[in-house]
Amino acid sequence: MNPFFTTYNTPHETVPFDKITIDDFEPAIMKGIEEEDKVIEAIVNNPQAATFENTVEALENSGELLQKVTEVFFNLISAETTDEMDELAQKLSPILSEHENNITLNEKLFERVKSVYEHTNKDELTKEQRMLLQSCYDSFVRNGANLKEEDKQTYRQLTSELGVLSLQFSQNKLKDQNAFTLHITNETDLEGLPESAIDAAKEEAKSRNQEGWVFTLQAPSYGPFLTYSAKRELRQQMYMAYNTICTHDNENNNIDIVKQIVNHHREIAQLLGYKTYADYTLVKRMAQNSETVYNLLQQLLVAYKPTAEKEVEEVKQLAREMTGNEAFDLQPWDFAYYSNKLKERDYQINSEMLRPYFELSNVKKGVFGLATKLYGISFQLNQDIPVYHPDVEAYEVFDKDGMFLAVFYCDFHPRKSKKSGAWMTSYKEQWTEKNGKNSRPHVSVTMNLTKPTAEKPSLLTLSEVETFLHEFGHSLHGMFANTTYRSLSGTNVYWDFVELPSQFMENYAIEKEFLNTFAFHYQTGERLPDELIEKIVRSRNFNVAYACLRQLSFGLLDMAYYTQEKEFDADVKEFEKEAWKETQLLPQVPEACMTVQFSHIMAGGYSAGYYSYKWAEVLDADAFSLFQQNGIFDTATAQSFRDNVLSKGGTEPPMDLYVRFRGQKPSIDALLKRNGIRK
């Protein structure tokens, strides 16, 4: 029996990963399509006049089986894929695109939705119902419902092809990233590397049945190598390998795929009556238009660039001093190495000094404990909940009154079958069933944190602790969801609002009161010394302006692609270098190319939306300033944040939610103050 066809006989009806095989997905997806088609047919052929209940709500509640299967399938494509899964995804993606188009391009169905939209007395609906109605109507219009028949066919073709292209982009990136290793057999080539990086490389070599040390392009291997390796030629080799992913003359090259993705987005937008894809996208964002986005990016560029230039000059000066070469030409593969040396000199701190205090099990206790302090919720490991890989842990989450709140999966470490980066996702959204039961969510965070070795447990950097806090913030947005409708639940909010809960949590990473709850030496049990905490706080803004310009460069690159009005056929590498030149403070390497591995904007939903990270940073700094004013663990402020932001999902306009919590609209002042740009 196909596990998807029955109610799951597992704790909280969690996904029975141990029972599902690859052969279960396709029949379940096809049956899910068939079932939803029948529901759509019933809505369309309903002899009664269209109402909110028999049309919009009925549509919202359709496709339950299909969603159940696709949530599992596409989450596993990112977290635990195989060649067979990738092939199946290529096969199913156009079928799913066609199915979605069959719904939004169904004329009779749209007529009913339009009738409800135009003839319903909105005052008789709740705020959430009004939002659902607006969202439903807009979804049809924005997905081609008003197009002529000929244009609908074009739209079908473009969206179907775009789905396959995005999938291919991601698959190519994972394969090309996995294809490279730096195999070291001479111990002198390890000069400068910390014990943690050497141990991890030794483990990697063992896992591949090789002698010596193997370094990969996965973050916990690549990052420390660039930061600590004293061998410049090897740093260059690693840098070039990473920054030329998907540019090589092989089947994983993404250059042409990028052009097709950009053009498909543009053509879809223009088909729908917009000049550019950014114009189309930003209508449904807090920013609303390209001008607002560029204003924010330029405002930040003007504020941060002078400081960033000074930061880079200081690194260059130190590199000249250390090499004894006044003409030393600082290259991108040198920056992390020499900036780390500068940080050690000026602040007597580096990430390796902190690792022993950030043992993963303690960090978990700290992060979970923070949620307990703020919101009163608790976490209980449940090993009876099936997981999709031995690395994954599943927790039951209980509210402060003891009621079950959510299931929370944690997947911490890199592996060949997992995408790079870190993300939060759901295996089941929250919604309110017809009988009034609040159906609770199953959320997951997937990361690529430092792995344990034979000698040591997983010891994290402060940056990795921040990553955990970030993704955990997203998960709280999912866990606290308390809405009627699934499509408005949890993180189903405007893209430039979704990063607020995640980036807000990062603020705690340098707070002494928080660090004192979990940062204990993994061997001695000694608490992280106050002296080190002071160094963390003092060094918080080290190279902060340089980091800001890096984020701005990605935002400008994204906007450059998606404000194209004509067919894009430029040299991708040259286009990239031109698009972000204002933000580049180091020499640009001709062969390097970010675009071809920039999954966020090519395959991850951030197309014309990467600015969201900086937009939300303004919000998170402003929001945290209220906690600083009232106490960083103040439960009343936390409850207000939960009630007005975290639990509301997309049920109201995000600025309304934010102002209700904060009492005012945000400005960039709190961010500039936090970063030391403005006193």
- The residues carrying an active-site annotation are 471
Q: Give the whole-angstrom CA distance, residue 638 versus residue 351.
A: 30
The size of the chain, in residues, is 679
Residue that the structure tokens 């029975």 belong to: 16
Would you say 567 and 263 are in contact if contact means Cβ atoms under 8 Å apart?
yes
What are the distances in angstroms from CA 429 to CA 103, 388, 424, 440, 488? 21, 19, 12, 7, 10
Cα atoms in the 13 Å half-sphere on the side-chain side of 523: 4
Q: At what angle do helices 612-630 and 654-662 cross, to 10 degrees?
A: 20
As given in the structure block, the two tokens for residue 304 are: 């941060």
Residue type, 296: L
As given in the structure block, the two tokens for residue 101 are: 């188009």
Would you say 622 and 500 are in contact if contact means Cβ atoms under 8 Å apart?
no
Would you say 92 and 65 are in contact if contact means Cβ atoms under 8 Å apart?
no
CA 86, distance to chain mean position in Å, is: 21
SS (H, E, C) 442-496: EEEEECCCCCCCCCCCCECCHHHHHHHHHHHHHHHHHHCCCCCCHHHCCCCCCCC
Strand duo 438-439 + 404-411: pairing: unpaired
SS (H, E, C) 73-86: HHHHHHHCCCHHHH
Q: Which residues of 517-555 are buried (b: 16+ CB within 10 A; e: fewer)?
A: bbbbebeeeebbeeebbebbeebeebbbbbebbbbbbbb
Q: Give the whole-angstrom CA distance, residue 429 versus residue 478.
A: 8
As given in the structure block, the two tokens for residue 456 are: 């040591």
- Residue 426, SS3 per DSSP: strand
Residue 637 φ then ψ, to 5°:
-65, -40
Q: Which residues of 67-85 are buried (b: 16+ CB within 10 A; e: fewer)?
A: bbbbbbbbbbbbbbbeeeb
Q: Give the whole-angstrom CA distance, residue 52 versus residue 61.
A: 12
Nearest to 517 by CA among 636, 392, 632: 632
- Residue 184, SS3 per DSSP: strand
User: Counting Cβ atoms within 10 Å, is residue 611 exposed (0-12), middle (13-18) or buried (19+)?
Assistant: buried
What are the distances in angstroms from CA 69 to CA 76, 333, 437? 11, 43, 22
Nearest to 566 by CA among 257, 266, 149: 266
- Residue 431, SS3 per DSSP: strand
